[in-house]
Structure 1
Amino acid sequence: MKQFYNSKSLLRLSFLFVLLFSAITVLNSCKKDDDEEEFQDHMVKFEVKTTSGGEIITVVTQVGTTQNTIHSNPTAPLNSSWSSADMWVNSNQAQLNLDANAKLPDTDSELTINIWIDGEIAKTVKKKGKGVLEASLDYSFLEP
């Protein structure tokens, strides 16, 4: 018991405790830095669909500030649905936009546009009616 209260033993024990506490503190602070990434990559896909008989005239997408006109030909419309390839987009791009118009044959016809993020529909817009209808939607990674 006398050895435990020996000043050298207490000094060694105190030094060991301080060293262990410092190591744990440094490891925890590094771990928090890795977990709190500000921007993340997401799998994004754009989709435009019409009901039977609908003709897609124009599709325009935008990721961040880069606009891309995918299809714009009124004399040769798309007779089937359209979807982009899956693409990786970093959330620092902030904004995604999808615009489309289509010629629909009946009052019950629908134009549907979707933005998919990480395999789930993040936003959708449906327009119903006859004639040329336009649909537009946007998605921001910065808004919850």
Structure 2
Amino acid sequence: MKHFYTSKSLLKFSFLFLFVLSVFSLTTSCKDDDDDEVFTDHLVQFEVKSVKGGAPSGTEKVQLKTIVTQVGTVQNTFFVPETPGMQNWSSGEFFVNSSQAQLNLDANAILPNGDSELIVTIYVDSEVAITKKVVGSGNQSVSVDFSFLEL
């Protein structure tokens, strides 16, 4: 009877086994790479509000200075002229694809009283995604960031 397990035949079978194993591992590992990420459109709105605070008879007003919005890598800066009584600003609603990943909103204003507020809000699909406020007087800034990757 011949020895079936000679060193040459063992070597051939081991190479064949390694080859089959490597082909199998390559095909199974590439399956996960084929799944494309699904991006969706979202309705987005930026909003800046200010509250004067202090005594109601005061003549000092909130003065919005600068508003900066950023969607993905596209940045827009709005310099608000001295408009009497302008205490609110809104971008209006627009669609953003979630592939843009990041939304940013920054605002700067001169607040007249210690209890004056500057509030910035990002709405996504008509719901508050993130909001932040700063309270104080003088030159105040507030910033919020929202990422679609966290959804």
TM-score, length basis structure 2: 0.67
Q: Which amino acid aligns with 1:49?
A: K
CA positional deviation for 1:55: 1.4
Q: Which amino acid aligns with 1:42?
A: H
SS in structure 2 of the partner of residue 39 of structure 1? coil
Is the 8 Å Cα contact of residues 57 and 102 (structure 1) preserved in structure 2? yes
Is the 8 Å Cα contact of residues 63 and 82 (structure 2) preserved in structure 1? no
Q: Is 1:45 aligned to 2:45, yes or no?
A: yes
* Superposition CA RMSD, Å: 1.9
User: Which residue matches 1:118?
Assistant: 125
Range with bigger deviation, 46-55 or 113-122: 46-55
Is the 8 Å Cα contact of residues 57 and 77 (structure 1) preserved in structure 2? no
Is the 8 Å Cα contact of residues 45 and 84 (structure 1) preserved in structure 2? yes
> What is the aligned length?
108
User: Which residue matches 1:9?
Assistant: none
SS in structure 2 of the partner of residue 142 of structure 1? helix
Deviations 1:28-48 (A, max 9, x none): xxxxx9xx9711100000000
Is the 8 Å Cα contact of residues 54 and 103 (structure 1) preserved in structure 2? yes
Q: Is 1:133 aligned to 2:140, yes or no?
A: yes
Distance in 2 separating the partners of 1:77 and 1:59: 14
Gaps (5+ residues) in structure 1?
Answer: 1-32
User: Residue 74 of structure 2: which of 61, 66, 72 is its match?
Assistant: 66
CA positional deviation for 1:80: 2.3
Gaps (5+ residues) in structure 2?
Answer: 1-34, 53-60
TM-score, length basis structure 1: 0.70
SS in structure 1 of the partner of residue 87 of structure 2? coil
Identity of aligned residues (%): 52
**1:76-95 correspondence to structure 2 within 5 Å:** 76=82, 79-95=86-102
